[in-house]
Amino acid sequence: MLQKVLSEKISHWQDEIHTVLEQAGEKKISDVSVNQAYGGMRGIKGLICETSAVSADKGLIIRGYPLLEITQLLPEEVFYLLLTGDLPDQAAKEDIQNQLNAHNNVPEYVWNVLSSLPDDSHPMTMLTIAIQSMQVDSEFVKKYDKGVPKKDYWKWTLDDGIRLIGALPGIAAGIYRMRFNKGERIEPGNNLDWAGNYAHMLGFEGDDFKKLMRLYLMLHCDHEGGNVSAFSSLTVSSALSSPFLSVAAGLNGLAGPLHGLANQECLKFVLEVHDYFNGAPDKQELEKFCWDRLQNGRVIPGYGHAVLRCPDPRFTAFLSFGKKHIINDNIFSIVEKLYEVAPNVLKEHGKAKNPWPNVDAASGSLLYFYGLKEFNYYTVLFSISRTMGIISQMVINRAMGIPIMRPKSITTEWVKKNT
Ligand code: HAX
């Protein structure tokens, strides 16, 4: 059903792009300054991403829907939205759930690979190795080797994507139980949604934790095309590497402390505050703590963003979840107080272009509250969710025939001679 819906849309999207290129192909959409060339290409409009857009003052907008208007959706419904641009009806939702469930068993070789790694491997290392090992089952690779036409690449990319997204909760939950000695792996439950099943396989049965997982896995799904994880995945995918290798490449970027690993750093910081004050400090004490940290040349984790210039709506959604479900918890209370204190400190400090909280500022405290305390695992949750956005972008790029990525680099010598 999903493939049929997409086939119809894709031929329409191809026509649309064809017309845009015919009418505006030579129009300029960006100038590039020397600052930008040395500055991580910030702000250069040089990529197309159809699944979502990030506006500096509103945050994430998925296919035209501002994030805070669709937080009630299940992650798999968001996946359908990312791919097709439509909210799924009941039949479409069941179809995608059935497809994901059909792939929720993890191949045995994945466990063999994982159990051969050192016991203290980082969970993100385990995750990306597990994903890469699944390359052996790539339908895309098999079809490519048989010589299927280029116009059909997206179909096998989607096929692999669904295979991967279906298996990811089981892989990630297995990593959690293996890495943190939680006992035997737990089999997927019948009649559970994708995120509910993940909570179940992790070993957390409470309804509120399942609700948190549904929210967590929908909020982290996508953040347009230029962030480190999406951009890295799409670059690798543009060389027609399999979806397994391409997703693993992007998630290796998500494992960096300035990107997805920030959520572990952020909770570490909140716990540091808690230990230092032996509880939740008052606002003045917290303000001084932030200043001391900045004066030691360290960042305030969970604050700042390369694109956003407002509180991240993903943070807002987590904060309201916490306010609704968490009462009298010192850790969450530090997160709330930081929101009152850190933006003013960062504004006065004057360096960060965005003094507001990002997605990572609250999520860890919620996981911690429900007993998921192994914070070096947190980026794995982010990864499961972000894979939906990466796969959606990859399918669309392949359907639109986006060629291999190859921006031009220049040398400092060139800059000196030509500016
Ligand atoms: N605390 C202290 N200083 C900060 C800061 C913060 N939270 N955020 C930015 N700055 C500093 C930068 O380090 C930079 O200093 P230098 O000029 O000395 O290098 C200066 O302010 C300008 O940075 P910027 O342009 O505002 O921000 P960047 O686009 O360079 O970086 C980051 C964006 C998110 C990496 C940055 O704000 C940061 O390091 N924040 C803390 C870590 C964090 O929360 N990361 C998670 C981001 C969300 C995400 O992608 N998750 O996956």
Burial of 238 (0-12, 13-18, 19+ CB in 10 A): middle
Instruction: Please say if 89 is a catalytic residue.
Output: no
336 CA from centroid of ligand 1 (Å): 20
Q: What is the model's pTM?
A: 0.95
199, 215 contact by CB (below 8 A)? no
pLDDT tens, per residue, the chain with 419 residues: 899 999 999 999 999 999 999 999 999 999 999 999 999 999 999 999 999 999 999 999 999 999 999 999 999 999 999 999 999 999 999 999 999 999 999 999 999 999 999 999 999 999 999 999 999 999 999 999 999 999 999 999 999 999 999 999 999 999 999 999 999 999 998 788 999 999 999 999 899 999 999 999 999 999 999 999 999 999 999 999 999 999 999 999 999 988 888 888 899 999 999 999 999 999 999 999 999 999 999 999 999 998 899 999 999 999 999 999 998 999 999 999 999 999 999 999 999 999 999 999 999 999 999 999 999 999 999 999 999 999 999 999 999 999 999 999 999 999 999 99
Q: Can you tell me which atom of ligand 1 is nearest the CA of 306?
A: 29
Q: Can you tell me which atom of ligand 1 is nearest the CA of 303?
A: 7
303 CA from centroid of ligand 1 (Å): 7
Q: Which listed residue (193, 220, 305, 312) is catalytic?
A: 305
Q: Cα separation of 70 and 218, whole Å?
A: 9
354 CA from centroid of ligand 1 (Å): 8
* Coil, strand or helix at 273: helix
Q: Cα separation of 202 and 198, whole Å?
A: 6
Q: Can you tell me which atom of ligand 1 is nearest the CA of 351?
A: 21
Instruction: Please say if 152 is a catalytic residue.
Output: no
Q: Cα separation of 274 and 265, whole Å?
A: 14
Q: What is the pLDDT of residue 162?
A: 98
| CATH T-level fold of 75-256+374-399 | Citrate Synthase; domain 1 (1.10.580)
Q: Can you tell me which atom of ligand 1 is nearest the CA of 359?
A: 48
Q: DSSP of 68-110, one letter per residue?
A: GGSTTS-HHHHHHHHHHSS---HHHHHHHHHHHHTT-SPPHHH
Q: Cα separation of 382 and 260, whole Å?
A: 7
Q: What is the pLDDT of residue 94?
A: 96
Q: Cα separation of 175 and 103, whole Å?
A: 18
Domain coordinates in residue numbering, the chain: 75-256+374-399, 262-369
Q: Which of 70, 60, 65 is nearest to 224 (CA)?
A: 60
Q: Can you tell me which atom of ligand 1 is nearest the CA of 228?
A: 50
Which of 308, 344, 351 for a ligand 1 pocket mutation test, highest count of atoms within 8 Å of Cβ? 351
Tokens of 368: 């911690």
Does any ligand 1 atom lie closer than 6 A to the CB of residue 258?
yes
Does any ligand 1 atom lie closer than 6 A to the CB of residue 352?
yes
Residue position matching structure tokens 């982010």: 382
Q: Cα separation of 264 and 80, whole Å?
A: 29
Q: What is the pLDDT of residue 191?
A: 83
* Residue 7 CA from chain centroid, whole number: 26
Q: What is the pLDDT of residue 241?
A: 98
Q: Which amino acid is at 121?
A: S
List the residue whose alpha carbon is closest to atom 30 of ligand 1.
306
306 CA from centroid of ligand 1 (Å): 7
Q: Which listed residue (145, 259, 282, 329) is catalytic?
A: 259
221, 81 contact by CB (below 8 A)? no
Burial of 25 (0-12, 13-18, 19+ CB in 10 A): exposed
Q: What is the pLDDT of residue 190?
A: 75
Q: Which listed residue (137, 159, 222, 360) is catalytic?
A: 360
Instruction: Please say if 122 is a catalytic residue.
Output: no
Is CATH 1.10.230.10 correct for 262-369?
A: yes
Which of 222, 267, 295, 303 for a ligand 1 pocket mutation test, highest count of atoms within 8 Å of Cβ? 303
